């Protein structure tokens, strides 16, 4: 899980570092197409078929477009603000997913403690936006817009989770859902790159290595491992552990890209992460507390 979180945090760093060689939107589009083909090949190798018609396929395309819109926002935000900011605001997705699922699924109703976590996260976002940032007002406006786009990308990620959980995609193999997401996102983002004139490519070994890493390690390998882990471990525990990604992202942004960090952003992002831990970790904590209380009761009975 530590390795997966490290990989996810590095993807924003890689896009930021190579953004002058190829537009992030083009890079994400190309990597998604490559990874989608790899997932399709894996499914066929297993003797399975991905439906390309029917209600499941329609829902899959819709989820894929949501997934693509999320990364379109991410691609634009990475050009305007720091990778450290992007990775923190992107990982507010569990908050948006929890809010949506609260209204859609009775089994996902939020407890009082989780509402405290959501309030904390909202307060942390406000504090993070207050950060001084660059010295000029133009740069500050650009960074704030980038932060807002990254936050909207997090909301898009949360919306994608909600649709998957509340539709037939929750019952199909994870590889099918991943294919729909990657294929639709690849087409959408590649078209967006051409439509906006962001097709300039400066071929270098750095860009090539980053594209290989993004396509095969991030989109193909890490996503498949993540879906496998969801079948082996509790989702609430994995959700808490995945918060290592923004922590890694902030540290790597400073170390590798030399990105400055304001005290306001550090304080705000810490509050955001604390809120997300409360929201995603509450079910696990509640189960632990019940088991602990049960064991104490059994021990007292035995005594």
- pLDDT score, position 153: 94
What is the Cα–Cα distance from 184 to 191, expressed in whole angstroms?
11
What is the Cα–Cα distance from 276 to 281, expressed in whole angstroms?
8
Residue 171 confidence (pLDDT) above 80: yes
Average pLDDT score over residue span 7-32:
93
- Partners of 22 in beta bridges: 201
- Orientation of helix 83-90 relative to helix 2-17, angle to 10°: 130
CA-wise closest residue to 172 among 56, 46, 61: 56
Q: Kindly state the tokens that stand for 36.
A: 């989608």
Share of the chain above pLDDT 70, in %: 88
User: Higher confidence at residue 236 or residue 144?
Assistant: 144
The neighbour count for residue 42, using CB atoms within 10 Å, is 15
Share of the chain above pLDDT 90, in %: 40
**Spacing of C-alpha 91 from chain mean position:** 6
> Alpha helices, DSSP H only, in 81-173?
83-90, 93-104, 112-130, 137-165
- pLDDT score, position 238: 63
- pLDDT score, position 254: 85
Average pLDDT score over residue span 7-19:
90
Res. 117 pLDDT band, cuts 50 70 90? confident
- pLDDT score, position 137: 59
CA-wise closest residue to 87 among 31, 21, 5, 24: 5
CA dihedral sign of residues 274, 84, 144, 151: negative
Average pLDDT score over residue span 147-175:
89
pLDDT digits (tens, 9 = 90+) for 65-105: 999 999 999 999 999 988 888 988 898 888 888 888 888 87
- Partners of 51 in beta bridges: none
Q: How far is CA 199 from CA 22, 192, 193, in A?
A: 7, 10, 6
What is the Cα–Cα distance from 238 to 94, expressed in whole angstroms?
12
The DSSP symbol for 105 reads: -
**Spacing of C-alpha 268 from chain mean position:** 19
Contact 136, 75 (CB under 8 A): no
Res. 231 pLDDT band, cuts 50 70 90? low
Across all residues in the chain, what is the average pLDDT?
85
Q: What is the pTM of this model?
A: 0.85
Average pLDDT score over residue span 51-55:
87
Contact 216, 35 (CB under 8 A): yes
Residue 142 confidence (pLDDT) above 60: yes
Average pLDDT score over residue span 108-136:
77
Residue 280 confidence (pLDDT) above 70: yes
User: Higher confidence at residue 14 or residue 128?
Assistant: 14
pLDDT digits (tens, 9 = 90+) for 197-210: 999 999 999 999 99
The neighbour count for residue 195, using CB atoms within 10 Å, is 10
- pLDDT score, position 216: 95
Residue 167 confidence (pLDDT) above 90: no
- pLDDT score, position 31: 95
User: Higher confidence at residue 13 or residue 301?
Assistant: 13
18 backbone dihedrals φ, ψ, rounded to 5°? -110, 10
Burial of 236 (0-12, 13-18, 19+ CB in 10 A): middle
Residue 136 confidence (pLDDT) above 60: no
């Amino acid at each position: 899980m530590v390795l997966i979180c490290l990989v996810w945090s590095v993807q924003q760093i890689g896009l930021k570092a190579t953004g002058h060689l190829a537009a992030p939107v083009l890079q994400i589009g190309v990597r998604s197409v490559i990874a989608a083909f790899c997932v399709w090949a894996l499914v066929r190798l297993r003797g399975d078929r991905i439906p390309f018609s029917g209600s499941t396929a329609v829902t899959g395309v819709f989820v894929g477009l949501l997934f693509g819109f999320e990364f379109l926002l991410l691609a634009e935000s990475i050009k305007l603000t720091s990778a450290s900011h992007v990775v923190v605001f992107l990982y507010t997705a569990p908050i948006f997913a929890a809010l949506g699922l609260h209204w859609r699924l009775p089994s996902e109703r939020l407890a009082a403690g989780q509402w405290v976590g959501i309030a904390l996260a909202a307060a942390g976002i406000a504090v993070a936006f207050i950060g001084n940032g660059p010295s000029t007002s133009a740069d500050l406006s650009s960074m704030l817009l980038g932060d807002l786009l990254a936050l909207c990308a997090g909301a898009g990620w949360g919306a994608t989770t909600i649709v998957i959980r509340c539709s037939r995609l929750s019952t199909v193999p994870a590889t099918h859902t991943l294919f729909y997401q990657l294929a639709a996102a690849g087409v959408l983002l590649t078209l967006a790159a051409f439509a906006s004139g962001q097709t300039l490519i400066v071929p270098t070994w750095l860009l090539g290595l980053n594209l290989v890493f993004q396509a095969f390690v991030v989109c193909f390998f890490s996503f498949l491992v993540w879906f496998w882990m969801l079948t082996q471990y509790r989702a609430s525990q994995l959700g808490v552990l995945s918060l290592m990604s923004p922590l890694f992202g902030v540290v790597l942004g400073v170390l590798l890209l030399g990105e400055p960090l304001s005290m306001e952003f550090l304080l705000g992002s810490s509050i955001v992460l604390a809120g997300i831990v409360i929201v995603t970790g509450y079910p696990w904590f509640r189960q632990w507390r019940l088991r602990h209380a049960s064991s104490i009761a059994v021990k007292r009975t035995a005594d």
